[in-house]
Structure 1
Amino acid sequence: MDLGSAERVFLIAAWGQGVNLTNGSTSDLAELAEAAAAWHAGVALSELQTAAPFLEVSPLALAHERGPEYAVAEKWSRYLAPDPYEDLEMLHAAHAEPRLRALFPFTSHGALMFSRCTGFPFSQDISAIYPLGDHRYAVHHRGEPFSREPDYTAQEAAAVVVAHMPETWGPAVAGTQHDLRDREGQ
């Protein structure tokens, strides 16, 4: 049975600058219309959630609303919290590098990646750190074949990523990789 097949339900998700800022569901069309009007009027996310309690607003969405530096800090704080599924050694080593700490971190299949923008799609131009096991890491530079050699300590891997970055990159800006390209193309 599909959601909403027994009764009417409206699903809502609001995005801005490549970020899912809020989502929720309601069976009340008037409630949905009020939320849409508040969103259209540009109310703050905390006010939107008060006006439409069926909407969920995450701490990361609130951080995005405050600015890219807050979104970056919130994302790093999530990654640096103890989690058995994340490689904390790799995350702490990357966070210790000021230039990496200013970028928006994200993970994919265990690899730590960095974006020069805070919205999806993320920038795809910064090297990534891949855990190899036994406290060893590979660094993959964009546009080059992946290699497990040489392998690095977590600190060495973070330093290699920084060394491979142009000096003009960072800190992360609000928006998507497309917004970033448009900004840099001007």
Structure 2
Amino acid sequence: MTDGMDFPAADPSEYLDAELYPDLTQLGGLASAIRQLARDNCIELEKVDAEPGAARYITAKIPLSRGRISVLLGAERRWFSVTIEGNAHVWASGGTNDLLAVVEMADSWRQGVTLRGLADRFPFMSYSRLSEAYESGDPVSVQWDHLLGDAAFRQQANVLQAVHRADRLRMLFPYVSHGTIRLALDHLERRAGEIWIAPLADGRFRVESTNSRDSRREVGSVEDAIEIALSYLPG
């Protein structure tokens, strides 16, 4: 049987620790408790969702125009882990044992509070330099500064520097995954596609565009790799 929302009808106490979360157990889970707290405090959260199945009791998703707020329960102590997610990045994250504070934080974010203002009012939330750069509108240069200055990317340093010297490639949002330098064509919309430059074990480079199945090519120098990468940019 289901509860009419494609969720299994069940006793919340089967999934919640009643000693840690007596309020959530009584109200039918995390999402239901957030809705009730919002109503009780005259806070307008248009929608509060949950994951399907048993996870409905321990998860909550609050979709807002500025991104989605995800809340997850702690298992060993009363704790609400919170993440504010944008389309292609995390705005802020944190945790607290006070669910009302989470609801008030969500309301502040809904109303347009800045990252600095959010952290000042809700010290349990923190954000990165990159998140602040997204807010100011210049995440690309900040991300390049991070990659070029981080010792963790020492193996890719020569390639990163060469790519950064190419004016048109320097305008793309870079990140490194499994040794591959990935250049996002649009830092706000990852579905716009990426260009990948992967150093190979034999000293060669593999270059490809995620927008074309037939784009993969292997070349012998970073200069050739950059030339191919440039050819994959939209006209």
| Counterpart check, 1:96 vs 2:165 | yes
6, 9, 16: which one aligns with 2:86: 16
Structure 1 partner of 2:67: none
State the TM-score, normalized to the length of structure 2: 0.61
Structure 2 partner of 1:158: 226
The 3-state SS of whatever aligns with 1:87 is helix
Give the whole-Å Cα distance in 1 for the aligned partners of 2:191 and 2:175. Answer: 9
Aligned pairs for 1:26-175 within 5 A: 26-67=96-137, 70-85=138-153, 86-119=155-188, 121-124=190-193, 126-133=194-201, 135-141=203-209, 142-144=212-214, 146-148=216-218, 151-167=219-235
> 1:117 is matched by which residue type in structure 2?
D
Q: Which has the higher contact order (CA 8 A, sep 6+)?
A: 1
Give the whole-Å Cα distance in 2 for the aligned partners of 1:16 and 1:77. Answer: 21
| Counterpart check, 1:5 vs 2:69 | no
Give the whole-Å Cα distance in 1 for the aligned partners of 2:150 and 2:89. Answer: 25
The 3-state SS of whatever aligns with 1:127 is strand
Give the whole-Å Cα distance in 2 for the aligned partners of 1:154 and 1:20. Answer: 32
Gap change, CA 1:120 and 1:26, over 3 Å in 2: farther
Residues 115-138 of structure 1, C-alpha deviation per residue, up to 9 Å, x if partnerless?
1221464532x4321101464322
Give the whole-Å Cα distance in 2 for the aligned partners of 1:47 and 1:114. Answer: 31
Structure with greater Cα Rg = 2
Q: Which runs of 5+ in 2 are unaligned?
A: 1-72
Give the whole-Å Cα distance in 2 for the aligned partners of 1:107 and 1:114. Answer: 9
Q: Which runs of 5+ in 1 are unaligned?
A: 168-186
> 2:177 is matched by which residue type in structure 1?
S
Give the whole-Å Cα distance in 1 for the aligned partners of 2:175 and 2:152. Answer: 16
State the TM-score, normalized to the length of structure 1: 0.76
Q: Is the Cα contact below 8 Å between 2:184 and 2:195 reproduced in 1?
A: no
Gap change, CA 1:84 and 1:107, over 3 Å in 2: closer
The CA RMSD measured in Å over matched residues stands at 2.3
> 2:222 is matched by which residue type in structure 1?
A
Give the whole-Å Cα distance in 2 for the aligned partners of 1:105 and 1:122. Answer: 15
Give the length in aligned residue pairs. Answer: 161
Identity %: 29
